[in-house]
Amino acid sequence: MPLRIFNNLSSQIAQNRLSRNNDNLGDAIGTIASGERVKNSADDGASLAISESLRSDARAFRQGVRNLQDGLSLVNNVAEGGLTVIAEILIRSRELASQASTGTIGSTERETLQLEFNALRQEIDRITNTNEFLGQKLLDGSLESGAPGEDVIIHIGLDSRTENRINLNETLNLSPTTSAGLGIDQLDISTADGAKEALVTLQEAVATLSGARARVGATQNRLTRAIQNLGVNIENLTAAASTIRDADVAEEVTGLTKQLLLVQTSAAMVGQANLQPEGVLLLLQ
């Protein structure tokens, strides 16, 4: 290339290469520092759009997991606890009725048993009317299928389709567990005949409550399996987004080393190119 004084083309070319290599070096440093191959739409618009969609789905599923965990807390800690206590009360009530039906005790003893029997029924009503989760009544019939008002629905999916929701009213279908709801509000064990009739009714009430507890247990298992399934979905979506968006650190470090060498080489060439005009002075000597 001919030597020129006013326009040093070699220096300009070397400076352009140096500027380009500096930009590439900055990109390499940014990629390694962030750990992401695609940081904005300028890097890879299509990959960014796909990865953002995957990450959005994963976050929606994570919220679904939290919703399911809240639902599981409702079923486990409140509904099951209340039903367990009521079942124990019914068992004690049957014991009292059985004791009152025998002919070895008198009317005075039966009256005493009736006092405890009445107290147990009142406790069943109290538990039913106070059993709630964040203001949502659970045992008073609010979770019965077709109950007035809004159903308790757990949202777990990406949209509002029925497949992405669990209706607790339909799965639990808990009828009122008050003494009236169980059919024991009119029982009287102060007589032997009344105690014998109470045994039959109490047995039916225990069977009704056992069915409710079975549905609660089935709902617990369903919510647990749903949480596990969402966990797998989140794992797969996160892995897919990572494959698209995250940087291969080993590859990027290799690229960084290359760019460092190119920047150093370009800088050296700029210095050499700037020395070329001095050759003109040698011609003039």
Token look-up 């900055």 returns 26
Is the four-CA dihedral 108, 112, 117, 118 of positive or negative sign? positive
Instruction: Report d(CA 170, CA 174) in Å as an integer.
Output: 9
Structure tokens at 8: 């040093």
CATH number for the segment(s) 44-245:
1.20.1330.10
Tracing tokens 């800088």 back to the chain, one arrives at 267
Q: What is the pTM of this model?
A: 0.74
Give the integer Cα–Cα distance in Å for 69 and 67.
5
How many whole angstroms separate alpha carbon 21 and alpha carbon 14?
Answer: 10
Q: Where are the domains of the chain?
A: 9-35+247-284, 44-245
Digitized pLDDT (tens) for each residue of the chain, 285 residues in all: 555 555 667 777 777 877 886 776 677 676 666 667 666 666 667 877 888 888 889 999 999 999 999 999 898 877 777 899 999 999 999 999 999 999 888 889 999 999 999 999 999 999 999 988 888 889 999 999 988 888 999 999 888 888 899 999 999 999 999 999 999 999 999 999 999 999 999 999 999 999 999 999 999 999 999 999 999 999 999 888 878 776 666 666 777 677 778 777 877 777 776 766 666 556 555
